[in-house]
Every structure is written in structure tokens, then in C-alpha cells.
Amino acid sequence: MSTFGAYFRLVRVGWILVREGVVSALPSEGLPPAISFAKSFVGLFARRRSKSQKRSDRLARAVERLGPSYVKIGQFLATRPDVVGVDFADDLSQLQDRMAFFPTAAAKGLIEASLGRTVDELYASFGEPIAAASIAQVHLGEVKTPKGFQRVAIKVIRPGVRHRFANDIEAMYLVSHLQERFMPSSRRLRPVEVTKTLEQTTKVEMDLRLEAAALSEIAENTEKDPGFRVPKVDWERTGRDVITMEWIDGVKMSDVEGLRAAGHDLNALADTLIQSFLRHTLRDGFFHADMHPGNLFVDDHGLIVAVDMGIVGRLGKKERRFLAEILYGFITRDYIRVAEVHFEAGYVPAHHNVESFAQAIRAIGEPIHGQPAETISMGKLLTLLFEVTELFDMETRPELVMLQKTMVVVEGVSRMLNPRFNMWKASEPVVGEWIRNNLGPKRIVTDLRDGLKAAVKLAEAVPEIAAKTEKFHHELMQMSEAGLRFDAQTAEAIGKAEARHNRSGRIALWIIALTLLYLAWLLS
């Protein structure tokens, strides 16, 4: 899409936000006088009815008018309170991903195009839609198996959603580039990188094969875990635009009275939920990043079943160790160690003082130790921690922010089930075991084993590295003997670059060329 088209879409978005009263409801603290005046001025164009609504209601109405893409954008930004602010993130988290149904005939057409077979061949029955969101809608169906007919959930992508999102993301890129250019203080948050993350995660979510793969991976990781599972995937009936999976008969976790009426132990469910999430995070480094109560069921056997794996998060070994050491440091009040972990991981620039950072960490930790255990929130602790890191130029770590946001949601569900939920007591079996295995003597054995694997890989790659080095040396010697020559394509490319770039670009281009000539002269 052209830049003009992106500007046009951005103007449309801005006008809708103004008309629905979202802009006038934004906080004015800290804004320059000119911006405050502009905000007051555009408030005159808001609809009258919007002025009496809460900001979250105004936002919901605006997003509804903007369309499905902006529901997904809003939900993503709700996971980034570091970017949009805590209050605004809370408003965005209340967006309801419930959209109008699209015709069943269109769903059948998408399935047949994706799987290359007719719906009648694939399913014994195919019902009308029962739920619709911004990306896809779900149908209840049946498949014939050797054991008889089995009910399945059939999730089908929304027609045209990929094209619509591709256009809308251009406006997001425009905003992020303008933000980085004219708001230097926001560069720490890397808004362009945030937009890239949004684009990537949504593209993944729009390929239902990848959701199926996420379900399969989680199923393997949790096969022996107590109290938790995910639906089984029917790979024969799964493609880019459709995923077929086991139908879950159970009670949604949002229905607390229903869970109680079914005889489930709510306190045990709260413990199992947080322990499962921490296992996925620390042990596997792969977690469901959208674990709100609408995506969690409790089946007839009392097992928690997580559905809708379109959004997932991954943590590398360094990030997992970072998280565990932070939690352990807060528990033991070793604030110097918490600060050192930030510096060792490279999250806080080295020019800052470790002791000063530890002082800021202490300001978070000490008030927590004065509270009853059941009132201490791990999610709140991480939120405060990320707020403090802003003072020390810590760049945004998208994977950690997604983890923090998901932890807040999971912890909230556990407290919904058990108002006196003790986060630390429930998590200790999982966190304690991981710390013993990964931060104690066993860590040395693990590091040695990983180091040995890396050494073996390096040894296997040595011949290839040597061959490439020899080839590069040979090419440099040829340049030193015959001079530096450009082929016709390179010469044409340089000509185009000369015409396209400004004076500074041309200088950089010739610096590179002169550097190559100098290297050739040294080797001659």
C-alpha cells in the first residue's frame, strides 16, 4: 500500500477516535500546552453521548467501528503496558473479541479450498457458527471414527482478514516511525519493533496450522503434568485456513458458580493453574500467552483445558534464568543480586551504577515483605520492576513484557477462584525445583553439557569455515593482483544508489569502496 494510503487510513482512525471521545478522554498530565490545547479542541467534535461514557466504553465503540484488525491490534497493545501505559492497557484488555458471524457457505468454501476436499467428505456433520472473533469463527461438527461419531470444534479463518490487516498494519508502522522521529524519549520502547512483533504474531495467528503446531507442542510438554491438558488436533482436517480439534465438554473458568456447582475444588484449581503456567514458562520456555478465563475450561475429570493457542510466548534459557533469579532475589531480599542479574543479562546499560539500581530495587521489595503472603502479587511485582527500569534506560524486552502481562492475567484468574490465594506458596514447588536444578550445582553440569554440545557443533563446522575463509582470501588476492572491479550489475546498482541517495549516502558508499581498495592494497 502507498504512503498516501497509510496517511489516509491514519486520518480515518484519528477521526473515529475523536468522534467517539477517546482522544478527549486521554490523560493530560505531562503534555505540552500546545498538545493539551489541541486535545481540548478536538474534544468539541466528539459525539455528545460519548462524553457520558467511560473511556473503556468509548474505546470499545471506536474499535468496533474500525473493524476486526483493530480489535486484534488493541488486544496486542493491552499486553504492552510499557508502551501505552497501565491504565490504557487495562481499558484495551476489556475489548471483547466477539464479532458478527460470517456466512456458513463462506466458511465451507474456505475449508474446501484449504484442504482440497468437500465438507461432506471431511465431516459427518457441519453446524452453524457458535462463536466468532476478529480472526476466525468456530463451528460445531462431527467426524466418523472407528469408535463412532465424535464431536469436534472447527475453527475457520475470517474471509479477507489477512488483506485487511496488511493494510491496517501500514498505518501502525507510520505511527511508530513518526513516534521514533519526533519523540526521542519513546525510542527506548522501540515502537517500530513493537509493530513488527504485532505483525509477526498476528501473521502466525492467521495461519491455523501454526496454532495446531502450538497445541501439539504444548501437549507433548505437558503429557505427564498433573491437572492440565490441551485439545487434541485432527491433523487430517487442519490446514492454513481451518483447524479441527477435539470438542471440549466442560465449564469455563469464568463461570465460578458453575465450577462450584459441578463439585470442583476451586482452591486446588487455582494452585494447579499457576503451577502449570510456571512449568510452561520455566521448564519449557513455551507458554500460552492468552490465558484469560474464557480460554480455560475444566472438564468432567477436573482437568484444566486451555484452548485458543493463537498467541504464544517463548523464553530462552537466559530469560528463564533471569526470571528465576529475580524472583529468588526478591524472596531472599538479595537486592544486589537482582541488580547484578539485570547487568549480567545486558538489560541495563553498563554505564549505570549497580548499587544505585539495587537501591531502586529495594524500594520495590521492602514494601512487599511487609504484606501478608496472600496479598503479594507476582505480576504486580514485575510491573513495578519494569517501571523502575525506565529510570535506568532498560530497553523494552517484548518477551518479558508478554510474560509479565500473561502472569498478571493467570494470577488474576487464580484469585478469582480463591480470593485468599497465596501466590508464593502455590508457586514454590515449581519455582523451587527449577532453582535447585538450574541455579545450584546441577547448573554447572548443565552448562558443561551445553558447552560440550556447542564445541561439537563448532568442530563439525570447522571444515566449512576453513573453506569459506580460504575462498575469501583467494578473492582478496585476486583483487590485489587485478584491481577492484565491479561487474555490470554492481555498476548499475551503484548508479541507481547514486541517483537515489543524498550526499551523505554517497559518501558512505565511497567509504565502503575505498575500504575494500585499502584491504586489497594491504594484501598485495
Q: What are the extents of the domains in the chain?
A: 3-97+164-200, 250-439, 456-523
- Say which range, 62-71, 77-86, 235-244, 247-256, has the weakest mean pLDDT: 77-86
Rounded Cα–Cα distance for residues 424 and 296 (Å)? 22
Residue 273: which pLDDT band, with cuts at 50, 70 and 90? very high
Q: Is the pLDDT at 51 greater than 60, yes or no? A: no
Per-residue pLDDT, averaged over 292-314, amounts to 90
Task: Find out whether 132 and 101 touch, Cβ atoms under 8 Å.
Answer: yes
% the chain with pLDDT above 70: 72
pLDDT tens readout for residues 66-79: 777 777 777 777 76
pLDDT tens readout for residues 401-446: 778 778 888 888 998 899 888 877 888 888 888 888 876 655 555 5
Q: Are strands 312-314 and 286-288 parallel, antiparallel or unpaired?
A: antiparallel
pTM exceeds 0.75 for this model = no
pLDDT tens readout for residues 375-402: 767 767 776 776 676 678 776 666 777 7
Per-residue pLDDT, averaged over 285-311, amounts to 90
308 is catalytic: no
Of the candidates 234, 241, 271, 290, the residue annotated as catalytic is 290
Q: Is the pLDDT at 456 greater than 70, yes or no? A: no
Nearest of 69, 64, 100, 73 to residue 165 by alpha carbon: 69
Give the pLDDT of residue 28.
63
Give the pLDDT of residue 240.
94
Average pLDDT, the chain: 79
Q: Is the pLDDT at 500 greater than 70, yes or no? A: no
Sign of CA dihedral 108, 109, 113, 119: positive
Give the pLDDT of residue 443.
54
Nearest of 276, 302, 301 to residue 291 by alpha carbon: 276
Rounded Cα–Cα distance for residues 522 and 473 (Å)? 12
Q: Is the pLDDT at 305 greater than 70, yes or no? A: yes
Scan for cell 557443533, then name that residue. 457
Task: Find out whether 59 and 74 touch, Cβ atoms under 8 Å.
Answer: yes
Q: Is the pLDDT at 109 greater than 90, yes or no? A: yes
Give the pLDDT of residue 279.
93
Give the pLDDT of residue 234.
96
Q: Is the pLDDT at 330 greater than 70, yes or no? A: yes
